[in-house]
Chain A
Amino acid sequence: MTDTDHPSDQMPSIWPGLWETNNRGPYIVGSCCKHCRTVTVGAAGICASCWSAAGYEIMEIGRRGTVYTYTQLHQAPSGFRTPMTVGYVDLQEGPRIFAHLDPSEAPIEIGQSVELSVSLLRSDADGTREYGPLFVPAQEQP
């Protein structure tokens, strides 16, 4: 990892540690337990599977996934623009995460193959601007 792996000051993360970006584009931060190799998103100090405190190897995951389910929200917490499409995406490496989905190019469907981008998800009148995962339908569907 280099310093450029982190969201920049211009793109503060909506949930610190959830995503990063490098020259191959954005990715979800996977934590692979050094002891039992279980891959999770949002790992804590001790592995939930084997209780090892040996630490994690950071893995670049979630560049592709499959829509498990979704909804279009017409009422959302402050700072989010409506309508907004959100859903659960099964990452190709296993974990399932909640994320935003982009229906502007192609309608979102269950089972659809999607690709990760990172986008402005939340902006408040006080100047808060937060970026996070936005999946878009993949060019090539399986």
Chain B
Amino acid sequence: MMSLRKVGIIGVGLAPFDNYPDSVAAEIAFPAIISALKDAGVDRDQVQAAFVAHLYQGEVFGQKLLKGLGFPRLPILNVENACAGGSGAVHEAWLSVAAGLSDVVLVVGVEKMAPGLIKFTKFDAEVAMGNVAPAQYAMAAKRHMHDFGTPPESFGNIVVKSRRHASLNPNARFRDPVTLDEVLNSRAISDPITLLQCCRNASGAAAVVLASEAWCRRNGKASVWIRGIGLSSFFKGDPGRDLTEFGGTRDAAHAAYEMAGIGAEEVNVVELHDAFAPGELLHYEGLGLCAKGEGARLVADGDTCLGGRVPVNVSGGLLSKSHPVGATGVAQFAELTWQLRGSAESRQVEGARVALAHSQGGTALDVGATAVTLISRD
């Protein structure tokens, strides 16, 4: 592999996810971009390239967005990878700095969405026959229950944990605690998934500024560092494919761990793609936080709660924050940067040194994309 430069995250910003009925996408994103640049202490003229993730905002939206904030005519790439678009944009930005093309780059994830089920812009045969995202997660959950005896209460307890974490996060949208009974007895959506096990659509934005190690040193910037990053794809229709593997998580995680030279057991805090509660349990296994089939035990032992062995989604995750597609993956980097800086206040994971971000897109389609990134304090 060519030699790659070390890349730091020097600034993050978030426009908390909500309905924003009276704002257009650019208006939602502006505060996130401005806070990320202020946090980084860089001016817009110092940004050498920008990577803008969105799914529904139309052609060259990134250019329209940054023109609206008076950026110079810098290289701008719009990135789409369904629900993993935000982390894909971080990947492209990282690569641009790591390869030495740029020293300071901006990543923006932004979405303006209507409520309801995610709308796919192109159908495939499954979608035409009524397949929807919750059904895909439910079918994987059913197979996991069949193969490993996973009880449906595991999925319910993931929501209880999510809301408990969200109650500590002023940026989360749903902050009221829920009980296991309330989760399991909420409206049935797709057996075993109930309403409270589903994330909501929302609008929102997040932004991060990346810089090379050399630039950070020259400019005296403190930073957290991207240590490993892996992208993978999955093609679902293959005969014999194990749906409990649930997308490309294992492949993407393997690539990220390999690049970082970091093992799963060294990870202190995780933000992962919990679009529906069973997804979180399946991704524990794909990320190697536990052995295959043991996700339920991780939940039962409280290992992934704040204060546990490896807290997962201390921000509240998608379940409690909602899911503005292009923004979701980028927002994970904001949360994990705060965690590694030790500035996450009452939801701080004590002593967090290594963090992992995971997102997955296209899960209800026949194919999809997964991204895993490892970040560390040193």
Could you list which residues of chain A lie within 8 angstroms of chain B, going by C-beta atoms?
14-15, 18, 41-42, 68-77, 80, 84, 86-88, 90, 94-100, 110-111, 121-122, 132-133
Contacts and interface: CB of A to CB of B under 8 A. Distances in A.
B156 to A, nearest CB: 16
B1 interface: no
Contact of B139 (A42, A88, A100): A88
B115 interface: no
B128 A73 contact: no
Nearest to A75: B189
A71 B190 contact: yes
A96 B117 contact: no
B135 interface: yes
7 contacts: A71-B190, A73-B190, A77-B117, A86-B135, A90-B239, A99-B129, A121-B129
A88 B135 CA distance: 11
Contact of A80 (B130, B134, B193, B238): B130
Given A100-B129, A121-B130, A74 B239 contact: no
B2 interface: no
B91 interface: no
Given A77-B117, A121-B129, A96 B142 contact: no
B132 interface: yes
Contacts, number: 86
Nearest to B192: A71
Contact of A69 (B189, B238, B243): B243
Which 9 A-B residue pairings sit nearest by Cβ, starting from the closest? A71-B138, A69-B143, A98-B126, A15-B125, A69-B139, A72-B191, A74-B188, A110-B146, A80-B130
A95 B366 CA distance: 13
Contact of A72 (B117, B128, B143, B190): B190
A95 B238 CA distance: 7
Contacts of A95: 237, 239
Contacts of B138: 71, 73
Contact of A74 (B187, B237, B240, B243): B187
B53 interface: no
Given A76-B130, A96-B239, A71 B125 contact: no
B140 interface: yes
A31 to B, nearest CB: 13
